[in-house]
Structure 1
Amino acid sequence: MANFPKDFFWGAAAAAYQIEGSAPIDGKGACVWDMFSAIPGKTFEGHSGASACDHYHRYEADAAMMSELGIPNYRLSISWPRILPAGRSAINAKGVDFYDRLVDVLLAKGIQPWVTLFHWDYPYELYKLGGWLNPESPQWFAEYVQIVVEKLSDRVSRWMTINEPQCFVGLGHQTGYHAPGDRLGLKEVLQAAHHVLIAHGRAVQVIRSHARTGPTIGWAPCGAMAMPEDESSSADIEAARKAVFCFGPGNPLYSPAEPLWSVAWWSDAAVLGRYPEGELEVYGGAAPMFTEEEMRTIAQPLDFYGVNIYNGTVVRAGGDGGIERVPRAPGAPVTALKWPVTPTSLYWGPKFLNERYNLPVVVTENGLSGMDWVSLDGRVHDSQRIDFLQRYLRELDRAIGDGVDVRGYFQWSIMDNFEWSEGYKERFGLVHVDYETQKRTPKDSAYWYRDVITTNGRVLY
């Protein structure tokens, strides 16, 4: 018997830049991903989000498809430069109207919208003014958020401020692998991260003060998850907990080249109102200067902790309280994107987060890229996705059974889409998209997931 509560929020997710199409029509402004994708060699075969899934024109059919697949909750994001082409000042009425219509269509189909306010498509015009390095960036974000909230909050009550800051700051501003493609020093990267956190707090304040219906507010970070090798060993469990929250030398999950995968750096600030002392010591003079007022702004009360979990690392206790990475077995399963398949990350991740931050957890993304194509019979037989999701959801169910407060789960993603630097070669969707014809073909997993939702998880066993 499954442990999912009767009011559990089942859903699927997508993001504006990945599905809408970013062509500059109806007044839409450019974002940093438009800039980045135009640079040769930055994305797979030069792919961009210019057309994507053409959701901007096909949103009504897509909402009807979601309804037919039994999706009761849909996590979407708003494109900041579609609302404000220059990132601030002049409002694009056609952009606002698009999301106004989209919300109405979703609600008419019995689908509740969960709105993410920033999912990586930072306005290009603001980037030219310094982007997240500019201390004015939190105010720019707050002004944009107020426009969206005043327009949609009579019908939207569930909000997320930002998605995966670890990625768009770390990969976008330090390694250059994602847009905007910068390779900044640690001091500058941490300063941008600090501004992102202030922007998150300012957004929460704006939602609370301007929402016309009582809001439920969270955010959607990711991070380095760890699981104990021996679940009966208190030492291994503590090693896994330390691996998640104590980033720095001695932690096998830590890399000096990519230090921003820390969970605690972001979440201790956003939830507990402080940066972790250990990491302040590790970062030393590169750590941002901040005031108590800024930390109070960052640590606004949240209603849930959203988290994107795809995989994790198995660790064990080492000598003298250390942490050791457990090597993966040769030939251990991986996804098409070569990410490890680690179902217990959906048990231990929510458990550790719920214990540390004392907030209900919503899994805002989970899924895999698969080798999916339309078979000769006209269907997409993605049995590996079904097996993957079944394994992960059983672990999430186990966590709930053990008392972890998990309120919802959003599969990533509702349809195949633009997978950032990987272009269109990675397919994460429950629905296959032919990008030349824009034909949607629900995969076997879409119908299986409908049964999971209908039975509230009972079909998992």
Structure 2
Amino acid sequence: MPKPQTSPVSFPQDFIWGAATAAYQIEGAWNEDGKTESIWDRFAHTPGKVKHDHNGDLACDSYRRYAEDIALVKAMGLTSYRYSVSWPRVQPHGRGGANAAGLDYYRRLTDCVLDAGLRPLLTLYHWDLPQELEDQGGWANRDTASRFADYVRLVADALADRVRHFVVLNEPKTFTSTGYWQGVHAPGRREPLAFLRATHSVNLAQGMAFRILKQARSDAEIGSAFDVAPMIPASSRAEDVAAAERWHRFLNLWFVHPALHGAYPEGVLEPARQHELLGWQEGDADVVRAPLDFIGLNYYSPWLVRHTDTECDIPGLHCKANWAKGLGELPQTDIGWDIDAKSFHDILLTMAEATGYRPIEITECGAAYNTGPSADGSINDDARIRFFADHVRAMAAAMADGAPVRGFHYWSLLDNFEWAEGYTQRFGIVHVDFEQQQKRTIKASGHWYRQLATTNALP
């Protein structure tokens, strides 16, 4: 097991170490006990949308094996488990009353988390919109924000007595852009204006959910998980620097700034058309505002931004930039994403300043390495350990420089259904043998993480 030969790094005794999962990626049981179709069920069942036509029908079978998975979190010495609620499992039609069997499942799951001595970190939306709501326009339909608020109220009524820490949304930038603009994720639409409308509906939903959760539990701590990355200019030319700043505001701040300030970042949309393009209505400034208690950040790779004279296909958006998820000169993980721990340090400081130095939790950070079992059955994923150590060290440096980070959740606990990549990419610190009755095996990286979490120091 590699041990970087650098200066020692330690963390506060109350630092939170955890692991993260998402309902559609691990649960399976896609149509059982009253659960109806989500947009990811529909998308993954459509030939050609997911690699090898994989789907989440069974996934990791965590709907049945959740106790085993929670025991793995505890065995690794972690103190927090981030998991999500499937909206169509709790509210099958996206409106109306709750599905009792669905809520009972999440009560049992949460009780199991608590019985293991772990902190539940509950995500309310991790991309599984009920298909019936998508049939009515999905997130591009403003009414979906109100439907989400009703769903959050059902969850809060059932679980707020057990759960104090909530993540409202996971990666709103990604599920709106890949789902409604680029079409590579569910629901698979390529409609630029619908994408813009979806971003505003999502911000409305975030603000509504924040207030509902506070009403349900006054001492609740509420955030969202924003996927962020430094927007690195391709050169020192003024045009590239300006393009990178525009994309920072659009990709990193578009869902943070409205929550904290009741308005969108300047310089992204044409001011005269902003309200028209977003479907803004009177009073929306108050609706989108949500003074988040903490900021969840997901980090994987930096982005490279270069100015171009060509406008993009979104009306009223000041694009004039080409961007790529990667710098082209760095080592990569098996999914092809650049590895750059320094960018992790940098974006933590940037987001700390942008959010008024609210507490930060790393809600996701991880790497895809597809290392399989060796002859003795062990999984020696040394590359993941190097990635892990470098990024934890970068986080510690950011904390020393003033970033108020209080917790870290590795993505992911389990090898799982990785969206459009299907089962081809393994992010887990626990290996899942999808062909051998879902057998779980803690990888070398999981044992390394146990050492980190139990000593609060880099091994």
Q: Which moved more, 1:3-12 or 1:95-104?
A: 3-12
- Distance in 2 (CA, whole Å) between partners of 1:82 and 1:240 is 46
Distance 1:315 1:109, change over 3 A: same
Show the counterpart of 1:407. 406
The answer to whether the aligner puts 1:341 opposite 2:347 as a matched pair is no
Please list, as runs of the form range in 1=range in 2, the aligned pairs for 1:77-226 lying within 5 A after superposition.
77-184=84-191, 186-211=192-217, 214-226=219-231
Find the counterpart in structure 2 of residue 250 from structure 1.
none
Q: Compute the displacement of 1:239 (Å).
A: 11
- What is the match of residue 252 of structure 2? 263
Shift of 1:58: 0.4
> Partners in 2 of 1:143 and 1:324 — Cα distance?
39
Q: Structure 2 vs 1, CA of residues 27 and 241 (structure 1 numbering), >3 Å: closer, same or farther?
A: farther
Query: Does the aligned pair in 1 maintain the 2:232–2:305 contact within 8 Å?
Result: yes
Query: Which residue does 1:293 correspond to in 2?
Result: 283
CA distance in 2, matches of 1:90, 1:31: 17
- 1:228/1:329 Cα in 2 relative to 1: closer, same or farther (>3 Å)? closer
Distance 2:220 2:325 in 1: 44
1:302 aligns with 2:262: no
C-alpha contact 1:3 1:401 (8 A) present in aligned 2: no
Q: Which amino acid aligns with 1:177?
A: V
Structure 2 equivalent of residue 355 of structure 1: 353
Q: Secondary structure at the match of 2:205?
A: helix
Partner Cα separation in structure 2 for residue 215 and residue 64 of structure 1: 26
In structure 2, the CA distance between the partners of 1:108 and 1:384, relative to structure 1 (3 Å rule), is same
**1:420 aligns to what?**
419
Which amino acid in structure 2 is aligned with residue 181 of structure 1? G
1:226–1:349 CA contact under 8 A, matched in 2: no
**TM-score, L = length of structure 2:** 0.89
Of stretches 221-230 and 110-119 in structure 1, the one that deviates more from structure 2 is: 221-230
The one-letter code matched in structure 1 to 2:87 is W
Call closer, same or farther: CA 1:244–1:63 in 2, change over 3 Å: farther
Q: Residue in 2 aligned with 1:392?
A: 391
Residues 10, 410 of structure 1: 8 Å contact kept: yes
Deviation at 1:133, TM superposition (A): 2.0
Structure 1 residues 282 and 427, CA gap change in structure 2 (3 angstroms): farther
Gaps of 5+ in 1: 248-252, 254-259, 318-322
**What secondary structure sits across from 1:160 in the alignment?**
strand
* C-alpha contact 1:265 1:279 (8 A) present in aligned 2: no
Residues in 2 aligned to 1:374 and 1:325: alpha-carbon distance in whole angstroms:
37
Cα offsets for 1:97-150 (capped at 9, x unmatched): 010001111111111110000000000111112211222111110111011111
Higher mean alpha-carbon deviation, 154-163 vs 123-132, is at 123-132
Deviations, residues 183-240 of structure 1 (Å, cap 9, x unaligned): 11x22211111001100110001000112x610000011134246999xxxx99x999
Amino acid at match of 1:225: P
For the pair 1:377 / 2:376, whether they are aligned, the reply is yes
**What do the CA deviations read for 1:229-287 (whole angstroms, capped 9, x no partner)?**
99xxxx99x9999766532xxxxx8xxxxxx9621222211222211220122894673
The separation in 2 between residues aligned to 1:451 and 1:240, in whole angstroms, is 43
What displacement does 1:70 show? 1.2
Q: Larger deviation: 113-122 or 219-228?
A: 219-228
Give the letter for the 1:279 counterpart: V
Cα-to-partner distance string for 1:155-197 (whole Å, 9 max, x where unaligned): 100001001111111000111100011111x222111110011
Q: 1:280 and 1:25, CA in 2 relative to 1: closer, same or farther beyond 3 A?
A: same
Distance of aligned partners of 1:90 and 1:327 in 2 relative to their CA distance in 1, 3 Å threshold: closer
The answer to whether the 8 A contact 1:226-1:244 is kept is yes
Which shifted more, 332-341 or 20-29? 20-29
Higher mean alpha-carbon deviation, 2-11 vs 408-417, is at 2-11
Task: Give the Cα–Cα distance (whole angstroms) in 2 for the partners of residues 135 and 356 of structure 1.
Answer: 27
Deviations 1:73-105 (A, max 9, x none): 011000000001111113211110010001111
Match in the other structure for 1:256: none
CA contact (8 A) 1:346 1:393 kept: no
The structural deviation recorded for 1:412 is 0.1
The percent identity for this pair of structures is 40
Q: Which amino acid aligns with 1:214?
A: D
Tell me if the contact between 2:430 and 2:442 (Cα under 8 Å) persists in the aligned partners. yes
* 1:17 match: 24
2:269 maps to 1:280: yes
In structure 2, list runs of 5 or more residues that go unmatched.
Answer: 1-7, 308-320
> Partners of 1:298 and 1:208 in 2: how far apart?
15
SS of the residue 2:121 aligns to: strand
1:394 partner SS: helix
Distance 1:38 1:396 in 2: 39
CA contact (8 A) 2:232 2:244 kept: no
Q: Which amino acid aligns with 2:221?
A: T
Counterpart contact for 1:245–1:263, Cα < 8 Å: no
Letter in 2 for 1:411: Y
Equivalent position of 1:440 in the other structure = 440
Question: Under a length normalisation based on structure 1, what TM-score does the superposition of the two structures give?
Answer: 0.89
Q: Distance in 2 between matches of 1:104 and 1:243?
A: 48
- Residue type of the partner of 2:270? E
Task: Determine helix, strand or coil for the equivalent of 1:278.
Answer: coil
AA matched with 1:21: G
Q: SS state of the match for residue 415, structure 2? A: coil
Contact 1:240-1:316 at 8 Å conserved across structures: yes
